[in-house]
Amino acid sequence: MATVKKVAVIGSGSWGTALAVMLQKHGHDVVIWSRRQDAVEQMEKERENKEYLPGVLLPEGLSFTAEREKAVKDAEIIILSVPSKAVRQTAIDFSPYLNSNQVLVNVAKGLEEISLKRLSQVIQECAPQCQVCVLSGPSHAEEVAREIPTTCLIASENAETAKMVQEEFMNPRFRLYTNTDMVGVEMGAALKNVMALAAGISDGLGFGDNTKAAIMTRGIAEMSRLGIEMGGKLETFAGLSGIGDLIVTCTSMHSRNRRAGILLGKGKSLAETLAEIKMVVEGVNTVQAAYTLAKEHNVEMPITNAIYEVLFQGKNAEQAVLDLMSRHGKAE
């Protein structure tokens, strides 16, 4: 049974704002931290996050601040919702204000570019005093903010911590399952964004449903190959943070990664694509990390390699698809 909890959301992008709206509406006392004072003032005045979640009313009681200490003081649960690139620095900046009673829930999906670490590992390094959880699964901000029924999972090495967050965050429009397989959950969450880029490129090239089904099916095969090699469980890749998130990201027009893929498939450069999407496209950084991890672990990841070549080695997207199709015949 949920109790009123003080929740701080670090990051005022689309996902942080959507979660804050949902939790405030369902009885929690929520504050959003933004690194920009002008964003705080805009949201306070207009009760709308015009930049990242337009058209959604920010409910009464939801508050905003640009001060770190004020944001997390007294918070029992802290949601970290910044792009994966910013996770380390954000955790370092907040760490002096965090204590061991607080639970940190990371909702970013990606890998750290240079260290190739999972984001929970990065956060645990920077704020070792906190218990770290991960919230993942098929969940676009635009739908969660409008209370469209959604299922996600909450993962922690500590089953009791995951259970506590599950009880506090669940409501009839937002169902959470618990999971203790942090490796599987985080690898699924990160790698699905690479497959969403691939699905978008296929759509942008004018290919069809057959092609997308192939990308998704062979995509989950290579995602789980790497994830299992790194210590994750096969069943996690068959769950919400694997196939579930892959389905929503590869098929939805809400997906930033898929939309970026469509632009790339239509011939736009990476720089033009990122400028047009404006919001974070995590698959672009993740593909570099996944490409390196696959080599390190000696795991075959042909779709990931193809996306890396298209994004960073100037390979023609259509040629990349034809090359994938022309690989030597294999058993499934």
Ligand X SMILES: NC(=O)c1ccc[n+]([C@@H]2O[C@H](COP(=O)([O-])OP(=O)(O)OC[C@H]3O[C@@H](n4cnc5c(N)ncnc54)[C@H](O)[C@@H]3O)[C@@H](O)[C@H]2O)c1
The interface partner of residue 241, options being ligand G3P, ligand X, none and the CB cut-off 5 to 8 Å by kind, is none
Q: Determine contact, residues 35/65, Cβ cutoff 8 Å.
A: no
The closest alpha carbon to 279, from 146, 108, 148, 38, belongs to 108
Print the binding letters for residues 281-310 with ligand X: x by CB under 6 A, - otherwise.
-x----------------------------
Alpha carbon 308 to its chain centroid, in Å, reads: 19
Q: Residue 12 annotated as binding?
A: no
- Taking CB under 6 A as the criterion, the residue among 257, 273, 288, 304 binding ligand G3P is 257
The answer to the question of whether 14 is labelled as a binding residue is: yes
- Distance of closest approach, residue 175 Cβ to ligand G3P, in angstroms: 14
Integer CA distances (angstroms), 9 to 65, 103, 108, 247, 272, in order: 10, 12, 12, 27, 31
Site string for ligand G3P, 116-155 (x = CB under 6 A): ----------------------xxx---------------
Shortest Cβ distance from residue 140 to ligand G3P (Å)? 5
Q: Does the active-site annotation cover 192?
A: yes
Residue 52 in marked binding region: yes
Q: Which residues contact 47 (CB under 8 A, 6 or more apart)?
A: 57, 58
Picking from 198, 123, 130, 135, the residue whose alpha carbon sits closest to that of residue 170 is: 135
Mind giving me the DSSP string for 29-46? EEEEE-S-HHHHHHHHHH
Q: What is the 3-state secondary structure (H, E, C) of 155-189?
A: ECCCHHHHHHHHHHHCECCEEEEEECCHHHHHHHH
CB closer to ligand X out of 202 and 249: 249
Name the binder of 123 from ligand X, ligand G3P, none, CB < 5-8 A by kind.
none
CB of 90 or CB of 161, closer to ligand X: 90
Q: Decide: is 212 part of the binding site for ligand G3P (CB under 6 A).
A: no
Rg (CA), the chain: 19
Element housing 58 (H / E): none
User: What x/- string results for residues 14 through 53 when contact with ligand X is judged by CB under 6 A?
Assistant: xxx------------------x----------------x-
- Judged by CB under 6 A, the stretch of 13-21, 195-203, 263-271, 296-304 that binds ligand X is 13-21
Q: Cβ of 214: how many Cβ atoms within 10 Å?
A: 18
248 contacts ligand G3P (rule: CB under 6 A): yes
Among 109, 118, 212, 258, binds ligand X (CB under 6 A): 109
Toward ligand X, which CB reaches closer, 205 or 250? Answer: 250
Residue with tokens 């789980």: 224
Residues 6+ away with beta carbon under 8 Å from 293: 111, 116, 226, 230, 299
* 131-160: contacts with ligand X (CB under 6 A): 139-141
Q: Which residue's CB atom is positioned nearest to ligand X?
A: 13
Give alpha helix (H) positions in the chain. Answer: 14-25, 37-46, 68-72, 87-94, 119-126, 141-144, 159-169, 182-204, 209-229, 234-237, 245-251, 256-265, 270-277, 282-296, 302-312, 317-325
Interface residues with ligand G3P (CB under 6 A)? 109, 138-140, 193, 196, 245, 248-249, 254-257, 282
Please give the positions annotated as active site: 192
What residues form the annotated binding site for NADPH? 14-15, 35-36, 52, 109, 141, 256, 280, 282
Interface residues with ligand X (CB under 6 A)? 11-16, 35, 52, 81-84, 86, 90, 107-110, 139-141, 279-280, 282
